[in-house]
Amino acid sequence: MNNFKTIAAGLNILSKTLFLECGSSENIEDIIAVGWVVRNRVRKQNKTYKQICLQSKQFSCWNKTKPEDVNITNVFRWRICVAIADYIINAKERWNPLPKVYHYINPDLCSPSWAKKMKKVNYNCHFSHIFLREET
């Protein structure tokens, strides 16, 4: 069973990941979807949120930033990210709108070669991110 420090660290790092990955102009649905992708990876790999979020070259927001260096510039947006992170961590799996989706990209920022081998997930929201599922 998770102890309090592990749970608190997971909430903190997921909140920071959502805050940094989604930026201040993203819509709430996008932040939630990114959170579900992180949770899907946590469940698939049986790791902690901290291990998943800080894994090398997995989330671009952590490529050059350390968790202790995150500057919360928008308190309102930060509170939204904390609330969403808490929801994602504690939600029932049946509420997951993106089951088995482990990847996303922001096509305005990058076009990685690995993404070309994946299937775009159709989801009825206007996201700046594209969510991808591995071809099976």
Is 50 within the bounds of a domain?
yes
pLDDT at 124: 62
Q: How many helices (H) and strands (E) does the chain have?
A: 4, 3
Is 42 within the bounds of a domain?
yes
- Residue ranges making up the domain that contains 40: 4-98
With a pLDDT cut of 70, the percent of the chain lying above it is: 92
Is 118 within the bounds of a domain?
no
Is 62 within the bounds of a domain?
yes
Of the candidates 112, 98, 104, the residue with the CA atom closest to the CA atom of residue 128: 104
Give the Å distances, CA to CA, from 33 to 6, 37, 40, 124: 23, 6, 11, 11
pLDDT at 25: 61
Q: What is the rounded average pLDDT for all residues in the chain?
A: 88
The mean per-residue pLDDT over the stretch 74-89 comes to 94
Is 136 within the bounds of a domain?
no
Is 16 within the bounds of a domain?
yes
Structure tokens at 30: 């996008």
Number of domains in the chain: 1
pLDDT of 126 above 90: no
pLDDT band at 106, cuts 50/70/90?
A: confident
pLDDT of 107 above 90: no
Q: In which element (H, E) is residue 134 found?
A: strand 130-134
pLDDT at 136: 66
CA distance 21 to 14: 10
Query: Can you give the pTM of this predicted structure?
Result: 0.88
CA 125 to chain centre: 16
Is 77 within the bounds of a domain?
yes
pLDDT at 33: 92
Is 103 within the bounds of a domain?
no
Of the candidates 58, 67, 60, the residue with the CA atom closest to the CA atom of residue 15: 67
pLDDT band at 90, cuts 50/70/90?
A: very high
